[in-house]
Structure 1
């Protein structure tokens, strides 16, 4: 159980500093810290605005009494030195996704309304970043109160490139040693202890279309990014639109010169959570095959496309897998393009520890060859897992449960956070898994991005107590 005297000091501290917490979040939200590589410079490798947000966060950390270091503009940190050489760390980020449209509030200011904080980055991840700094400031205050440094060093890392390539943390790990344990406040409670591996690859057909070709299927185009289920896809075919049958989720329109444009509609979603989606490429391919809208040389590739789209667990391709830590493998078709006379279909696979990229290639490469195509891996990240029974993970989860009265357990996801870059790490809050928001409050990356203020205050308390407890653990 939480020490009652410590809990009382934590409660008083959070009440004391809360208005300053909100003010500091607002300071960071005012900086439109979107990656801008066109204007990157030495000391600002991801652009001037992410650097400005890093400077502002370091200024907050310094004001709170932390020793601060700017690591060449890639990343920075505030620190409290410990009695030994072991290091506990947090990592949050000061960069954001673009503002986008549809806002009812100023995206570059924090608006307080009906118990919520609204603004770009309040949830992802400027708000949690400020919480991590104030949690560290409490540890510093306790050290001064007791007259003794904490057992381990505490470092609060401030990233600047999480939303795009995570080049900040890659640079950091090339130049600094890893923390002995780290958590990132950029996810959900109770705690994420593992993230699936991720393979991005592409099936490329032989050259079966061309400007001077008389093939029936002239082009395929669909999807926006490789890591999202395609919601809109289209094909250009040599056919009379008036002679083609109607079908669900299909639009037909004349395109001139004896061509018809076939537009397929689906329901998009994130590659790691394809349940409930409908891939528009699959809708389109089924229509083309059902109505023989292809030349003989194109049929086999369309049949391969159909296999790709026939499942979201990889079973139609023969790569399905699961294990005791992760939910089953997911596999989705993201984009299809017509490129230099070839069709190119991307896939995004999120996989558990029971398989790997080599095992998948042993299946996918010969399958592609059977259909007159080739398969190539474009990127691969191995699964990340920290033992859910480890004392560090159990400390975080038990602290969460005590503060909430719940009986949560560590879980794994298909997405990715900073945590996967470290050997022993977790993603820990600050949001409730599966929680819903009022209709006027938006999610991360959306318009009206917002957080529940009381839940944020509780998250700060959880972080403080969890860190204080981690200080008592013997880190291996």
Structure 2
């Protein structure tokens, strides 16, 4: 029975364990758990650093009284065994995107400032992962105190490959039972009931040898708008004109390093960002810093990066559930004498990945570029009136005082892999944050401690209410 006494007990618990929560978040954040498949080994499919974070995360679960298991290094889970084998699950992840540029705080530590935690992963998703384990810890203590099991098994899945391909969860669901219901604390409140399709691809020029451009290098990962991009060109730096958001310096004998500074962000939310590759391309074209062959590629880049809704290349689309498609250029590199540009799209139900591939292939061919499709994942949507979803939304309303209305996003979370699932917090866009606080995937990633504390309470009460449903 979820009454006022129960909620007071939850408040007391959160206050009691909070410094331990922060300390455990710090333990995870201090590990630079970026996927590195070049260093993969048996039992470490995503690389040693990612595996280290998984081991630490499962160690936290074990210390908190859960039955923790590592699954051949792909991911892990920690159980609180219930009266039934049916599972209610949470799923978070311990891998992160690279730090990128522009940090004013140490990216791989947890700093405290103006009531916020700062560090890569405090929001996405190491902080929420620790919250899910402490939510289960609350019930583990209650079971130990009363001797009475929960109606269903509570499973905390600890993912390790969410930021790149989610192959860890594909592996898991081929071998383990589907939970009756799962939520992922890896997004925003109130609740995400749908996610756009996930799409990526790569343009590659032919070999361009002996031109003016020695090297192009922009962005860190394909699923983020780059805040920085560089070009090394065969020109004397002192002879190149200044421009807004462009730095120029000498780079050896009669060569110049040109650096463009944009405003980065998550690929699914391009509004307000400035793609540094686009700024660099404009400067190179305007100053004629390219051979005729290189100009063809740069002209393609200019068109490709001119919009973020796909309209400049003919793939714009929208529907009533998800809104408009997004398309961004994430990274550009010089590889084996060729220029290689990656793209990331989040698409609604009004188009398909196959249609996007066809259009982008035709577009690239006009400029002498080959095109290869990467991931192509269909949109995900769950009925927001499901009893489990209403349970979560009602609890959010109770704790936030705001309307609990489900919505859809362009990002991708583990929730899309479950028959009945959703992404649920911990960040609430209605909460005030300092101007300096950065977003997930951006520099100075931060979240107010008060938001995390409230989220932990919401998770505990939501799980208690899910346990009362007939599943």
Name the TM-score, length of structure 2 as normaliser: 0.81
SS of the residue aligned with 1:175? Answer: coil
More moved, 83-92 vs 111-120: 111-120
* In 2, Cα distance between equivalents of 1:380 and 1:72: 26
Change (3 A) 1:122 1:386: same
Matched, 1:418 2:414: yes
Equivalent-residue separation in structure 1 for 2:294 and 2:100 (angstroms): 39
Instruction: Using the TM superposition, name which of 363-372 and 311-320 deviates more.
Output: 363-372
- Kindly indicate whether the alpha-carbon contact (under 8 Å) linking 2:99 and 2:107 is maintained by their aligned counterparts in 1: no
Distance apart, 1:400 and its partner CA: 0.5
Does 410-419 or 320-329 show the bigger shift?
Answer: 410-419
C-alpha distance in 2 between matches for 1:201 and 1:251: 30
CA change 1:55–1:316 in 2 (3 A) is: closer
**Corresponding residue number in structure 2 for 1:396:** 392
- Equivalent in the alignment of 1:430: 426
- State the 1:332 CA deviation: 1.8
Asked if the contact 2:324–2:347 (Cα under 8 Å) also holds between the matched residues in 1, the reply is yes
Residues 1:210 and 2:209 aligned together: yes
Residue 224, structure 1, aligned to residue 223, structure 2: no
Alpha-carbon deviations, 1:381-421, whole Å to 9, x = none? 33233232322222211210111111142222222333233
Q: Measure how far apart 1:32 and its partner are.
A: 6.0
Say yes or no: does 1:466 pair with 2:462: yes
Give yes or no for the alignment of 1:183 onto 2:183. yes
Asked if the contact 2:192–2:423 (Cα under 8 Å) also holds between the matched residues in 1, the reply is yes
Measure how far apart 1:120 and its partner are: 5.7
Look up the SS of the partner of 2:324 in the other structure.
coil
Secondary structure (helix, strand or coil) at the match of 2:323 reads coil
- Does structure 1 residue 234 correspond to structure 2 residue 231? yes
In 2, Cα distance between equivalents of 1:278 and 1:29: 28
The aligned counterpart of 1:452 is 448
- Using the TM superposition, name which of 290-299 and 169-178 deviates more: 290-299
| Unmatched segments (≥5 aa) in structure 1 | none
Contact 1:107-1:118 within 8 A present in 2 as well: no
The answer as to 2:137 corresponding to 1:137 is yes
Residue 387 of structure 1 aligns to a residue in which SS?
Answer: coil
Is the aligned partner of 1:346 residue 2:345?
no
- Contact 1:210 1:218 survives alignment (8 Å): no
Residue 311 of structure 1: how far off its partner (Å): 1.3
Give 1:157 shift.
1.3
Q: Distance in 2 between matches of 1:255 and 1:24?
A: 44
Aligned to 2:197: 197
Q: How many residues align?
A: 468
**What per-residue deviation string (whole Å, max 9, x for no partner) do you get for residues 256-299 of structure 1?**
99988776554443322222333344345445656776666666
- Shift of the alpha carbon at 1:325? 1.9
**CA deviation profile, 1:69-90 (whole Å, cap 9, x unmatched):** 3323332222233344432100
Q: CA deviation at 1:189?
A: 1.5
Which whole-Å CA distance do the structure 2 matches of 1:352 and 1:179 have between them?
Answer: 27
Comparing 289-298 and 3-12, the one that deviates more: 289-298
Q: For 1:337-376, list aligned pairs within 5 A.
A: 337-340=333-336, 342-376=338-372
| Offset of residue 316 of structure 1 | 1.1
For the Cα contact (< 8 Å) 2:202–2:342, is it kept in 1? yes
Bigger mean CA offset, 298-307 vs 321-330: 298-307
Matching of residues 20-59 of structure 1 within 5 Å = 20-25=20-25, 28=28, 41-47=41-47, 50-59=50-59
For residue 316 of structure 1, give the secondary structure of its aligned residue in structure 2: helix
Query: How far, CA to CA, are the matches of 1:59 and 1:292 in structure 2?
Result: 57
The alpha-carbon deviation at position 357 of structure 1 amounts to 1.3
Partner of 1:91: 91
* Rounded Cα–Cα distance in structure 1 between residues aligned with 2:178 and 2:34: 27
Distance in 2 between the 1:12 and 1:86 partners?
A: 29
> Are the counterparts in 2 of residues 68 and 79 from structure 1 also a CA contact under 8 Å?
yes
TM normalised by structure 1 equals 0.81
User: Which is greater in Rg?
Assistant: 1
> 1:95: Cα distance to partner?
4.2
Q: CA, structure 1 residues 72+201, in 2 after alignment: closer, same or farther (shift >3 Å)? A: closer
Q: Secondary structure at 1:273's aligned position in 2?
A: coil
1:414/1:370 CA distance change after superposition, 3 Å: same
Distance 2:367 2:100 in 1: 41
Structure 1 residue 127: Cα displacement = 3.3
Cα pair 1:2 1:402 within 8 Å, conserved? no
Q: Which region of structure 1 is more displaced relative to structure 2, 78-87 or 298-307?
A: 298-307
Deviating more after overlay: 278-287 vs 149-158: 278-287
Deviation at 1:349, TM superposition (A): 1.6
